Every structure is written in C-alpha cells, then in structure tokens.
Chains A and B, each alone.
Chain A
C-alpha cells in the first residue's frame, strides 16, 4: 500500500471525521430538543419524561459494556484454549 496519509479515502480523513462528529452531536441535541414539540407517550410515567429514551439508551449501553468488560475478565481465554488438551478437541 503506497497511499500516503493525506490522499487516503475522503471518509478516512481527520477533517471528515471531525465534521461527522459535529453533525452527530448536532443530531443528538436536536433529537432531545424535538421532544419539546413532539409528544412521546409514556406507558409507565417515567418513559414519557423529557429525554428519557436518550438517557436510558446511553446508560443501559454503558451498563452493558461495563458488565461485559467485567465478565470478560472471568470468561476470556486464549483463542486456542479448546485445542490445548483441555477438551476432546
């Protein structure tokens, strides 16, 4: 591969990535603000709160990633674990 860094694909350029982050941030803010205009029906009270889905989505992902990470310390093994005479294979 003899492409140098600055003539890489336009999607991989740092400037593009920076722009994508800005657009992403703007979309996130707009999505929360939109709830001021659009009524979100809450079936159980809390889920109708302002920005509930945003916070819930973020926090549940955080919890799942951290849980998986912690579980990984216990469960992760080398890729050839099952070939090391630990099992029939």
Chain B
C-alpha cells in the first residue's frame, strides 16, 4: 500500500505546513520532509503503479524505473541539503516555494503519462517563479516576470505538442518517440526551453542570479535536470540534440568568461554542463544515457555546492560581483575549500564526481567514432576548468585582497556544504556507488592510467593558460548582451515602434474624421437647420406656403407624364 503513495505528496504537504508552523516545528518539517520523501521514492515499484480515468484517457501519476528513481533520489537529497542550507536564513515563504518546486520535480520524475508530466511541469514553473521573486529586489521582480513568461510559453508549446501526439497516436504514454511529426517537435521544443537550449538559454542567467543567496541553490537543481530526465525518457538518440548540446557547452563557456557577476558565472556554467547531458542524450547509446543520468546526478551536487559557496559570500558580504570581492580565503577558509571542491568536481578533476561521470559521455562519443563531438567535448572540459574551475574560486577567494574580512559560513550552511563536498569526493573515489543505480549495466572504468593522465594534462595546461592569460581576463564592470536582448530590447523597441505608428495613424484618422464631420455639420445646418439667431432656417426646414407646394407638385407630375410618354 505504501508504495502507491506518490512521493511528491510529502513535499507538497511540507510546503503547506512550513508557513503556519513556527520555530523548531518548522525546522523539523523542513529537515524531515525530504528524508521521508526519499524513503518513499525508494518504495516506488518498477512499472506503472495504477491508472486513473481522466476524460478519455487513462492517466498514470506514478511509474517507477531505475532512471526515474535516480533523478527523484537526487531531487529529494537536494531538497534536504538545500533545506538544511537555508532553514535558518531564508524566509518561510521562500522555503515553502522551494519545497513545492522540488515536489514538482519529483512529480515529473515519476509521471507515467504526458498529462501528469505536464501538470507537474507547470507546478515547477509556478513555484520556481516565486523562488525568483523571493530575491526581493526590483531586478528580481522584473527578471521573475520574464522567467514566468518564458516558462509559461514553453508550457503552452509542450501542451500543444502533447495534444498533437495524443491525436496522432491516440496514446499519452511516456515512451521513446520518433521525432517525425509536428506534435513531437513541439514537445521537444517545449522540453528544450526548460533545458535552457538556444536560442532561449538566456532566461537562466537572467533569472537565477537575481534570486536570494538561498533561492539560487534550489533554482540551480531542478528545472534543467527534469528536462534532461524527460529527454532521456522521450527522445533518446535524437540526432538534433547532439548539435544543440555542443552549442550549449560552448555558449556557457564563452559567456561565463565575459561575466563579472559571481552567480551569473555559475548560471552560465549550468547551461554548459546541461549541454554535456543534452549531447549525451543525442548520442543515445546505453553508455551515453548512463553518462547523461550519472552526470545529472553529480552535477546537481557540485553545482548546488558552488551556489552554496557563492551564496555564503553574498550573504556575508552583500556583494555579487567579482570586482567587489577577493582574498576572502583568509576569513572564510571552509567556504573557500568547499567552493574549490565544487570547482574541481565541475571541471572533472580525477578523484571528483565530475571525472567519473563526464568521461562516460566522452567515452560514448569515442565508442560511436564521433570525432568532432569527442574533440569539442575535450576542449569544453578544458574550458570548464578555465571558466568555473579556476575562475570562480580565484576571483572570489584569492585574486587581490579586497580588505573584506567577513565571518565564515553559519553552522547550517557549513554543514550543507560539507555534506555535498563529501559526496563530490565520494562519487569520485568510489564511482560504483553511483554506477549501480544507473539505468543500464555499467562496463566502464574511469580510472585507467591513460585516461587519468590525458585529463590531468588537459586540465593542468588549461590552468596554465588561465594564469598566463589573466591580463586578458581582467574583470570589467559590465554585462554582456545575450539572446534576451532580442525580447528585452528589440521586441520592446518593435512594440513601442508599433504603438507609436498606431498612435500616429489613429491621430490622423481622428483628425480626418473630425474635419469630415465638421463639414457634414455645415451642410446639414445649411439644409436642415431649424433655428439660428441670425440665419433663416435651412432650405428643407422652412415652412413653405401651400401655393408654392402645389406649383412644385404640378411641375413634377408634368415632368413625370412627359418622361412616361417618351
């Protein structure tokens, strides 16, 4: 019986209770709910648990499989550590929104049909918007509105796609699709919008850095990774994903290199890392899908760790930008060490989780003889070390002495960072712990001496490049235009231009209509006017003597008779 309870329920209940609860009770709910959820995640049986009638369809809100359970596990774990990180600092409504958002992600993980998937999908969109708004600044409010518009648009496209698929095939089951109809394309586009694929990648780096230091930890984990799970379930081996993934990988690196805002650097590197996973889903072999799932799992941990480390810095100093901080390692050693562990993991350094998962994706590319993909992924691995692996810790914790001497992390934030740091290293040292939960059997050894040497050379020499090229990477107090320029500026200009033209046309029409009306009024007054101080009534409004009228009638009748005869 217990296995029939959707695990997402517990997170939703917790989200509802966080508001009214106070003090220790609230803390207990925040910390216990994700662990209870985690236990129930592991009770979900493989296959469809039950189905319910809905309109003409049978919906299956609960379906288990290895890969679904893996994603739900990391989402629940993320909610626990995120809750631990923020329960003493974040406001209650932010925690509640974060937990509802996590519930949506866990719901998507177990959705057995496209309708349930869509419902949880929108659930995530709504509550992640609230988390963005919890940033509390005017920028957060505006970025949240742009974020909501983007995700509601993505949701509409996804819905249209689902309806198309339902009409075409008569089925709303979640299973690998051949991407050969308008419906499947629309669904793919809807999912890719959540994965921050081009050309709308900019929503991520626009919204996440405006949230609160605790909110961005939640935001970093769920939306893009549920999109990856959905791609694994629906579009494994879809060739277009390889190109999209490679674009995302390079886009993330280049923009992160240009960026000055600490959390925006990390946001761009989410796009970069999700690009690795999208590319892996596109390759579509068992090794590649294992790699995508494992990398998503590892990525959530080290990315949240990086956002936590950045969050502590922002919480303690109030500064968001690299140009404002520096030299913080003196008084924040724990935050610095945890940040460095996260940075090494994202770079895929041997002995960290990034190495044991990302190299699976490269291996899959090599096995399929995709030379360009393999080479670009290798270059990207070097680039990740450059833009996140060294850049983030260097500019925040070392660089120059900013003179700031903030205190280190509060105990709960420190505990959360230590848990995830340990996991980063644990999955790096003992990858079998993760490999046994992957969807396909793993026959892969990350630690062959040749592979370790290859990646060490790659990474250490990109480190050399970083320090030699430092003068070229001097932080400037600037932002970089991104695709969001298209809708924040170009679309705005088109809209204001359209309004100006419409106003001009409207003004001209009103003026013309006014002069026509005035002229009509003059004519009407002349012929029909009945009164006027100095004028006689109009010609048709006068009282004529009977004799004149009789004469006119006689004349008209004569004219009629004459015309009739001819």
Contact = CB atoms under 8 A, between A and B. Distances in A.
B371 A31 contact: no
Which secondary structure dominates where chain A touches chain B? helix
B499 interface: no
Contact of B327 (A12, A44, A88): A12
B142 A31 contact: no
B449 interface: yes
Contacts of A35: 453, 457
Given A43-B366, A43-B374, A76-B258, A61 B457 contact: no
B479 A64 contact: no
Contacts of A67: 254
B110 to A, nearest CB: 38
B316 interface: no
B431 interface: no
Nearest to A58: B461
A86 interface: yes
B478 A68 contact: no
Interface string B372-387: 0011001100110010
A53 B464 contact: no
A65 B257 contact: yes
Contacts of A53: 378, 453-455, 457-458, 461
Contact of A28 (B386, B464, B473): B464
A31 B461 CA distance: 10
12 contacts: A1-B405, A9-B329, A38-B450, A47-B378, A58-B462, A60-B382, A61-B382, A61-B469, A64-B254, A66-B472, A71-B254, A72-B480
A77 interface: yes
A32 B480 contact: no
Interface string A24-39: 1001100110110011
A78 interface: yes
A51 B453 CA distance: 10
Contacts of A89: 139, 142, 488
Interface string B353-395: 0000000000000100101001100110011001000000000
A76 B257 CA distance: 12
A31 B455 CA distance: 10
Contacts of A74: 481
Interface of B: 139, 142, 253-254, 257-258, 327, 329-330, 366, 369, 371, 374-375, 378-379, 382-383, 386, 398, 401, 403, 405, 448-451, 453-466, 469, 472-473, 476-482, 488-489, 492
Nearest to A21: B467
Given A39-B450, A56-B378, A77-B481, A44 B371 contact: yes
Interface of A: 1, 8-9, 11-12, 24, 27-28, 31-32, 34-35, 38-41, 43-44, 47, 51, 53-58, 60-62, 64-69, 71-72, 74-79, 81-82, 86-89
B453 A40 contact: yes
Contacts of B459: 57
A22 B366 CA distance: 36
A5 to B, nearest CB: 10
Contacts of A1: 401, 403, 405
Contacts of A11: 329, 398
Contact of A60 (B383, B450, B480): B383
Contact of B489 (A31, A51, A87): A87
B462 A57 contact: yes
Nearest to B380: A60
A75 B258 CA distance: 9
Given A53-B457, A56-B458, A57-B462, A76 B488 contact: no
Contacts of B476: 76
Contacts of A27: 460
A79 B478 contact: yes
B446 to A, nearest CB: 13
B377 to A, nearest CB: 11
A24 B456 CA distance: 13
B461 A55 contact: yes
B465 A8 contact: no
B147 to A, nearest CB: 13
A49 B492 CA distance: 53
A86 B454 CA distance: 48
Contacts of B469: 61-62, 65
Contact of A86 (B142, B327, B472, B489): B489
A39 B258 CA distance: 37
Given A51-B457, A60-B382, A64-B386, A76 B464 contact: no
Given A56-B458, A77-B479, 6 more contacts: A1-B401, A56-B379, A56-B382, A58-B465, A61-B461, A74-B481
Given A40-B454, A69-B472, A88-B492, A57 B258 contact: no
Contacts of B463: 24
A9 B336 CA distance: 15
A32 B366 CA distance: 23
A26 B28 CA distance: 52
A27 B366 CA distance: 28
A68 B379 contact: no
Contacts of B465: 57-58, 61-62, 65
Contact of B478 (A8, A12, A43, A78): A78
Given A61-B462, A64-B257, A31 B456 contact: yes
A8 B401 CA distance: 10
Contacts of A43: 366, 369, 371, 374
Contacts of B478: 72, 76-79
B464 A24 contact: yes
B403 A57 contact: no
Nearest to B379: A60
Given A68-B258, A78-B478, A89-B142, A57 B492 contact: no
B479 A54 contact: no
Contacts of A61: 382-383, 386, 461-462, 465-466, 469
Contacts of A51: 457
